[in-house]
A and B are shown apart, each in its own frame.
Chain A
Amino acid sequence: DIVLTQSPALAVSLEQRATISCKTSQNVDNYGISYMHWYQQKPGQQPKLLIYEGSNLASGIPARFSGSGSGTDFTLTIDPVEADDIATYYCQQSKDYPTFGAGTKLELK
């Protein structure tokens, strides 16, 4: 299995930039596509797709969310952070059978 590693939590101030990282145990790129996706989950709700294939914004997602990276190192950036963004963020790879990171809980400083 491809293992995805995320920091458990990140504290950020409103209107500042949040950078959430995800490192994979194997390269998840293939033919120029990064098979890395990001989800947001608020308490009591189902997850929501934010970013697919490394850097593509999913439908209806605000432009303050962006994704970057390749190979084994990926980043989700939220700039600027709004109160509604307080949630847990998961990365997921689809290069092999799907696996998720353990999630990063975004908290207010």
Chain B
Amino acid sequence: EVQLVESGGGLVQPGRSLKLSCAASGFTFSNYYMAWVRQAPTKGLEWVASITNSGGSTYYRDSVKGRFTISRDNAKSTLYLQMDSLRSEDTATYYCTRAPWGLFDYWGQGVMVTVSS
């Protein structure tokens, strides 16, 4: 059974940093692209970043480019999202997703990130 378990969320002040982790199990992690998708409170879904299976290439939405870094450790079957210079508009539930061919076929339960002073 595919499982994705996020951790690392919480309350953080504007301008500070936070690092999310996603522990994957139930599939061969190193074979799949992975991604982060977020959802602001009462809003829709928004793709944040993707990473190839080797980690050699990464892709970001414009609003997080230069502030967020997606990475992975295939030996640990873990996906990361380093979030720097956080803004209030980054407040959202962040979902770790398995992302073959640009779709999102499995989702974690999500982790809440609140950016507020």
The residue that A47 contacts in the complex, of B35, B45, B50, B102, with Cβ under 8 A, is: B45
Asked if B107 and A100 make an inter-chain contact with CB atoms under 8 angstroms apart, the answer reads no
Residues of B close to A46: CB separation below 8 A: 95, 107-110
Asked if B105 and A52 make an inter-chain contact with CB atoms under 8 angstroms apart, the answer reads yes
Per-position 1/0 for A83-104, Cβ under 8 A of B: 0000000101011011111110
Asked if B104 and A47 make an inter-chain contact with CB atoms under 8 angstroms apart, the answer reads yes
Number of A residues whose C-beta is below 8 Å from B? Answer: 22
Q: Cβ of B19 < 8 Å from any Cβ of A?
A: no
| Chain B, Cβ-Cβ closest to A103 | B44
Residues of A close to B27: CB separation below 8 A: none
Q: Cβ of A74 < 8 Å from any Cβ of B?
A: no
The residue that A35 contacts in the complex, of B102, B104, B105, B107, with Cβ under 8 A, is: B102
Asked if A94 and B102 make an inter-chain contact with CB atoms under 8 angstroms apart, the answer reads yes
Given the known inter-chain contacts A47-B104, A48-B107, please indicate yes or no for A97 contacting B59, CB distance below 8 A. Answer: yes
Per-position 1/0 for B56-98, Cβ under 8 A of A: 0001010000000000000000000000000000000001000
Residues of B close to A101: CB separation below 8 A: 44
Q: Cβ of A14 < 8 Å from any Cβ of B?
A: no
Residues of B close to A98: CB separation below 8 A: 35, 47, 50, 102, 104
Residues of A close to B104: CB separation below 8 A: 37, 39, 47, 49, 92, 98
Give B residues with C-beta under 8 Å from A. 35, 44-47, 50, 59, 61, 95, 101-110
